[in-house]
Amino acid sequence: MSLLVVGSVAFDTIETPYGQAEEILGGAATYFSVTASYFTPVRIVAVVGEDFGAEQRRVFENHGIDTQGLERAKGKTFRWRGEYRGNMDEAKTLETQLNVFQTFTPKIPPAYLDSRFLFLANIDPSLQFHVRKQINGPRLTGCDTMNFWINGKLPELKKTLAAVDALVINEGEARMLSGTENLPRAAAAIHKLGPRTVVIKRGEHGAVLFQEGLIFFAPAFPLEQVHDPTGAGDTFAGGFMGYLAREGDLSERSLRRALVYGSVMASFAVEEFGLSRLLRVKPQEIEERFRHFKAMTHFDV
Amino acid sequence: MSLLVVGSVAFDTIETPYGQAEEILGGAATYFSVTASYFTPVRIVAVVGEDFGAEQRRVFENHGIDTQGLERAKGKTFRWRGEYRGNMDEAKTLETQLNVFQTFTPKIPPAYLDSRFLFLANIDPSLQFHVRKQINGPRLTGCDTMNFWINGKLPELKKTLAAVDALVINEGEARMLSGTENLPRAAAAIHKLGPRTVVIKRGEHGAVLFQEGLIFFAPAFPLEQVHDPTGAGDTFAGGFMGYLAREGDLSERSLRRALVYGSVMASFAVEEFGLSRLLRVKPQEIEERFRHFKAMTHFDV
């Protein structure tokens, strides 16, 4: 089924203990859409600048992503510069240039209005709400957010949360949003804000899904080399939502598998800088790693 | 099969956000042996002081633990005072009184020398080695250690590690011991020091077992209230080793189940202060929680 993502497209400059990269294609909507494209047809709404050329557009088109909603505005594309140190569990932002993203108002092409699955990547919660209201009764709406909005736009964020089905959020931000350190209680507090499904991303510790009567854990794939964690969370969300959209099935069985596919895809993302590994992952590799997760988690009862 | 544990018995004074307790029975060998007693006959070698009375000894005896090796020495029992704050992921030690533990030399009763399973809880690695050498070819020897010995007695610790089969260690200490942040590589480095099986305890993130050709994850049970994390790691080890000793089976199937039993038992330990919950857990509750772990981790492939 059709999956629409709204979020950022960026040029990232990244330094990690394993190297660096200058102005490579990134942004939440980019990681999300490329990843989800391995599962289902994807549509993107985002804004880019005049420095976004045919080469970048081709990245999306080569993955069959519908770029009608990729607006080209005057000015430069959003830029992020950051570094990772030590165990790379957190990015240190060195510079953010919002550029065309500063005045971004998502414009939904009429052909997108029937999208059955919707993901509101981390942008201003007022814009997330604005997008959600335009789509005609999606089967599942997911969203992400971050500390900046939790601290700065909590009323707007709460309005958005009341209008979505699933929140896919980092562990630290789940704690911040709920005001509680304990994860099951944080999830319970978030359920009360609206989302029936709460997916908490725990970086190298994997992810956990909370829904009434269901708690399900997926570990992170144990890689010997993590080269660049940038986009891992958005990739995770792309795998999770992409799988659900492909199946069109929101059963418990499907949610469990979706969480594992999210973790599988995130494990590819971090193997190389930027999108490189994701752009050439093979469906067979995805399935192999999915089965590997079973070997790492199942036991006889 | 018989399981022998060597380690500390202590009186703990603990403060957490949920309350406090004064001079309650604790220590690694205590948590380990009480836990393992739910699975298999347990023998303990430890030292206590003159303030250790009939009431404390009864705790062990009520669980069928063989206390022949529980030496009573002149002076006071080992005392630890610590507190937990925030998400309680780390204890802050406020005071340590070694007392009779300072001059502890484990004395193994002759009846213990045929122990088939051996656990060397966190004590001076020279003493761990000394104990290991006295036991006649155990089927499995596990050990734990801590930053204090990694920093202060590394050559002795390496000698011990070369003589054990399984290391059960905290995540931070695995990184310190191996000198690498990456967990699979940390485990590989530890394998080279001797232990064929490396179990890394990750607190609220569960545990992971590494063996050649096998990586297996168990989450931590998601409790809405953690009252006191004291002894969780030793309880984990008690469940892990206790299950293996009961089964007398070191197959992959058994190791997976043992890791889950470790996590199950640790989840009971932290529900209340000190040993309280562990002392009255029912075999049926253990089995119920074990099955609950399946529900939290299994998915259809």
pLDDT band (50, 70, 90) for residue A88? confident
Please tell me the predicted confidence (pLDDT) of residue A259: 98
- Look at A297 and B300 and tell me if their CB atoms are within 8 Å: no
Q: Is the pLDDT at A262 greater than 90, yes or no?
A: yes
- Look at B216 and A300 and tell me if their CB atoms are within 8 Å: no
Question: CB atoms < 10 A from the CB of A52, how many?
Answer: 21
Q: Does B85 touch chain A (CB under 8 A)?
A: no
Please tell me the predicted confidence (pLDDT) of residue A95: 95
Question: CB atoms < 10 A from the CB of A132, how many?
Answer: 18
Pairwise CA distance, residues B224 & B203, whole Å: 15
Q: Does A208 touch chain B (CB under 8 A)?
A: yes
Going from the C-alpha of A247 to that of each of A41, A207, A241, B240, the distances in angstroms are: 12, 21, 10, 39
pLDDT band (50, 70, 90) for residue A89? confident
Mean pLDDT of chain A: 96
Please tell me the predicted confidence (pLDDT) of residue A87: 77
Mean pLDDT of B136-153: 96
Q: Which two tokens stand for residue A34?
A: 């490329």
Q: Does B185 touch chain A (CB under 8 A)?
A: yes
Q: Does B217 touch chain A (CB under 8 A)?
A: yes
In chain A, which residues have their Cβ closer than 8 Å to the Cβ of B219?
208, 217, 219
- Look at B253 and A299 and tell me if their CB atoms are within 8 Å: yes
Decide yes or no: CATH 3.40.1190.20 for domain A3-297.
yes
Sheet with A3-6, edge to edge strand ranges: A66-72, A42-48, A3-6, A117-120, A140-143, A166-170, A197-201, A207-211, A214-218
Please tell me the predicted confidence (pLDDT) of residue B68: 97
Contact A227, A23 (CB under 8 A): no
Q: Which two tokens stand for residue A151?
A: 């601290």
- Look at B205 and A208 and tell me if their CB atoms are within 8 Å: no
Question: CB atoms < 10 A from the CB of A193, how many?
Answer: 17
What is the percent of chain B with per-residue pLDDT over 70, rounded to a whole number? 100
Mean pLDDT of B263-273: 97
Q: Which two tokens stand for residue B137?
A: 């070819």
In chain B, which residues have their Cβ closer than 8 Å to the Cβ of A202?
205
- Look at A222 and B300 and tell me if their CB atoms are within 8 Å: no
Is A269 exposed, middle or buried, given 0-12, 13-18 or 19+ CB atoms closer than 10 A?
buried
Q: Is the pLDDT at B87 greater than 80, yes or no?
A: no
- Look at A256 and B299 and tell me if their CB atoms are within 8 Å: yes
Pairwise CA distance, residues A171 & A35, whole Å: 22
Instruction: Read off the pLDDT of residues B201-236 as tens digits, 9 standing for 90 and up.
Output: 999 999 999 999 999 999 999 999 899 999 999 999
Domain boundaries, chain B: 3-297
Q: Which two tokens stand for residue A228?
A: 């660049």
Query: Which residue among B86, B184, B294 places its CB closest to the CB of A222?
Result: B184
Please tell me the predicted confidence (pLDDT) of residue B89: 78
Instruction: Read off the pLDDT of residues A173-228 as tens digits, 9 standing for 90 and up.
Output: 999 999 998 999 999 999 999 999 999 999 999 999 999 999 999 999 999 989 99
Instruction: Read off the pLDDT of residues A94-150 as tens digits, 9 standing for 90 and up.
Output: 999 999 999 999 999 999 999 999 999 999 999 999 999 999 999 999 999 999 999
Measured in whole angstroms, how far is the alpha carbon of residue B147 from the centre of its chain?
A: 15
List all residues of chain A from 136 to 165 with a beta carbon under 8 Å from chain B: none
In chain B, which residues have their Cβ closer than 8 Å to the Cβ of A256?
298-300
pLDDT band (50, 70, 90) for residue A32? very high
Q: Is the pLDDT at B90 greater than 90, yes or no?
A: no
Please tell me the predicted confidence (pLDDT) of residue B129: 98
Q: Is the pLDDT at B158 greater than 80, yes or no?
A: yes
ipTM above 0.85, yes or no: yes
Q: Does A86 touch chain B (CB under 8 A)?
A: yes
Burial call A61-77: b when 16+ CB within 10 Å, e when fewer: eebebbbebbbebebbb
Question: CB neighbours of B260 closer than 8 A, spacing ≥ 6?
Answer: A299, B218, B290, B293
Q: Does A226 touch chain B (CB under 8 A)?
A: yes
Question: CB neighbours of B295 closer than 8 A, spacing ≥ 6?
Answer: none
Q: Does B54 touch chain A (CB under 8 A)?
A: no
Residue of B nearest to A298 (CA): B298
Q: Does B107 touch chain A (CB under 8 A)?
A: no
Q: Residue A207 in 3-state DSSP?
A: strand
Tell which of A171, A297, A298, A300 to mutate to test the B interface (max B CBs under 10 Å). A297
Please tell me the predicted confidence (pLDDT) of residue B228: 95
Going from the C-alpha of B222 to that of each of A223, A281, A292, B53, the distances in angstroms are: 25, 34, 24, 36
Instruction: Read off the pLDDT of residues B25-72 as tens digits, 9 standing for 90 and up.
Output: 999 999 999 999 999 999 999 999 999 999 999 999 999 999 999 999
